[in-house]
Structure 1
Amino acid sequence: MVSNEVEIVRNAENCLVYRGPLPVQGLTWRQIVTWWQALHMPDAEEPEAADALYRRQYR
């Protein structure tokens, strides 16, 4: 039986884990930025959060 559970067994500090419900059409970049901003940069403006997330992903 498939439970759709993902277990990160190493390098968890390098993984982004989105725990919200997935929309039928999938996640947009803006939705991911909003999620990132709420968790990691709540006082930042959206462009700053988007840039920080992009740079994290690039690294």
Structure 2
Amino acid sequence: MAIYQIKQPATGAVLWTGGAESEEQALDAMAREAGYADFAAIPETLRSAGTLVDRLNLG
């Protein structure tokens, strides 16, 4: 499992940081913590702002 950080590119705001097996799983985990079923369930108006997913190297 890797540690991922998801940011909103326009502002640099960190939306989520946590462990996941892939970028897709990290996006789904972020969405679940925000109350959505998965990343695809987030309204398009929010998803269209974009997300930047970084795999963090902490070792």
TM-score normalised by the chain length of structure 2:
0.33
Q: Between the two structures, name the one with larger relative contact order (CA 8 Å, sep ≥ 6).
A: 2
Which is richer in helix? 1
Which is richer in strand? 2
